[in-house]
Structure formats: structure tokens, C-alpha cells
Amino acid sequence: MKYLIVAFKSRTNLQNFVKTLRLVGIGASIVNTPRSIAVSCGLSARVEYRYLNTITNLIRPNDETLIGVYVITRNGIYEQVEKVY
């Protein structure tokens, strides 16, 4: 199972990003940030992996509150985290 986690330093920016995703037809949920991703406001957006290109196009290049976009790959009890943006 693969999915994306988009982590922000600010809850306000996270909420605005999720609203933007929903406006363009991408389902996103606000979840607790996984422990494997170090610093954030504690909440992140979870999005299906197939939207990776769309997500990276929607992110503003100079957004200082963005921590990163991560691909989470789960295989049973194992979890792999890879920062892609």
C-alpha cells in the first residue's frame, strides 16, 4: 500500500492546502503525522499516491511552511518513508 503524506509547519496552511485539493477534486484527509516524519504541527494531509504529480504542481515553490511530501509504503508491519519533495 502506497500513499502520500504532505506535512506543514502550520495547521492553517495544512487546512488551506486540503481545501485546495478538494476544490480540484482530490480527496484528502487530515491525519496525525507519522512519527517517522520528524517536525511538523502534528497533523498532515494524507492523499492517494496516484496524485503525486498533481500535488507537486499545486505546491507553491517558496512555501516556507511546507516540510515536505513523503511517500509511505507499507508492507505488513514494515513502513518505508521517502521524501519526494
Tens-digit pLDDT profile for residues 40-65: 678 999 999 999 999 999 988 778 88
Question: Which CATH number is correct for 2-83, 1.20.120, 1.10.260, 2.60.40, 3.30.70?
Answer: 3.30.70
pLDDT at 40: 67
Residue 41: the pLDDT is: 73
Cell numbers linked to 12: 492553517
